[in-house]
Structure 1
């Protein structure tokens, strides 16, 4: 088994805000590129001569790459400085976006999106390790918040701006601009981040052993179902929003922006309390998301959907903070292993949601797909809650 040095933690009072902001920007552009197809699904389908469900496979292939890379990047590159790994992720994402912007072949676009998925998973698998290098142990939740804030900014600004550009010019222009911006952030990673040595020990045996810890396997299963439930509904959210009577493209952009605004607020609020409340948030959050999706299904009116979108964004955009904080507090000696498992589960859920969801959308419609998402969220919340109880019971027996 290959061993590497433990990640040096920042001093107790230290928060390297410059580095954390650069991490946030990289997260912003990666996630904007990842989910921009959700907002321009109709335009992509028309341009490429395919169905919306088939266009959704540009998300599926990204998730497939993430699924393969998240659990293996630490094994394949056990000694590579994680700052260099983030620079490589930025370079790969740049190439992907430029290919999507410039080529006409669907096959080439899918290959490029696969490359993007690899970059995204490499970033997220290392995010906890990087956070531990940039902040003290008692502030790891707040440090993780910066990366997750990039997700919220992508939904509040990145994806809506991309949709607006696609309406005014062309969806390919949006991908071109994202590619250029990602390249610039890759340079900033080299300048703003300190060296980040790998966390200790990477091996398949370590991943399996981590899953077998009390409460970890059940928590990861709940995590997968929660993310799956969200993305079953969110991947085809454009189709759900088009159910609103007399809705136009501008209103859809606004509703997507409200999702992001809710997420941005959620990141700040949850980031402040997550280190002491992640257990409760892990159960309450998914249940509220399920309720919000229910409102979208049952009350397809602009005002009701606007409120539901903001609440939905508030709780899901902070989900990565909650799960990564859970990993940081429950597995402080297994940061890369826990982070890899969380990202693998995340990408598995996205792949299933986009792939199977696309088939369902084309056959039974978007409303039944939303209902499936609600059920998955409720079951996932229950599993996560049970895993937390199992962990507490094991700790009590240990005393």
Structure 2
């Protein structure tokens, strides 16, 4: 069977590419349904892009690589597509855009775009092997209990990374890339909760609060959630992409709160109150109880000197913790690293030394922040590859 283009992966990037790369396109996926990560994203409402999406929101060994694709298909282009399909949406915090209804609206939109370009979709299809030929590529796949050989001029790697293996994620894109001579940068779980081997935060599980979380590389002002295994929440997921095993993290529990002045004023007006009682006005009470044991917070406000209040504020502003690790790929939203961008054209996403081979989406060493950025990279990189293929027909 002959196709102009075979796309491996019916996720966000793969479907976006299929919608733009012209005639005789086949999309293959081993799953039962297309766009499964889209379906579960954003609590079922799909955080499909971010108003602030730009190169500065992405990690890569080459921080300039994403600029071309992001500039030629922006968040505004995707928003326009969503609007044309009548999908209602709303903005949450920090520029994050979500569907008012179901994330399935985004999947159905992409499937409709594929149908309009007559792209075929084979689900529950497994790739058995792939090889380069003079005319392009030959693929052997298993579908409905039988083996089929496919020939194509263009092969697009859009199978994502290793994150959430229970949904079928594998390192297939990396294996194929290496088979065809492309390099792979180190891969790690990213946008993932931190764990602590001693279970120190079990009694705080479910407590959340706004914090400023940082290490030597990055700083994020968002909420943090205590879990029975460690720490989660937006600020934690964000910082995890910049964290390495063994490193300490710094937690400011009172960002933008003039706590020292507040405590001094309260000391004048109600010095007989317990210090922990006053702290519980500004922080979750369960956390105050926990910290009172760890930081030896005790006594009435009247008992506290300016120096002791200053020390307390300093400790709350820079609570240093050293995670044991992360939850790993099991719960990671994305994979950091991947197919080395040195091997690819930033304009077309095509391998420089393997004509007709393209890599897009999460499979590539471009990883976005939490908040719709990774979907935008899927749209932008998928569009870049699709248009490059279409221009050759």
TM over 0.5: no
Which one has a larger percent strand, Structure 1 or Structure 2?
2
TM range (shorter): under 0.3
TM-score computed with the length of structure 1 as normaliser: 0.21
Larger Rg: 2
TM-score computed with the length of structure 2 as normaliser: 0.21
Which one has a larger percent helix, Structure 1 or Structure 2?
1
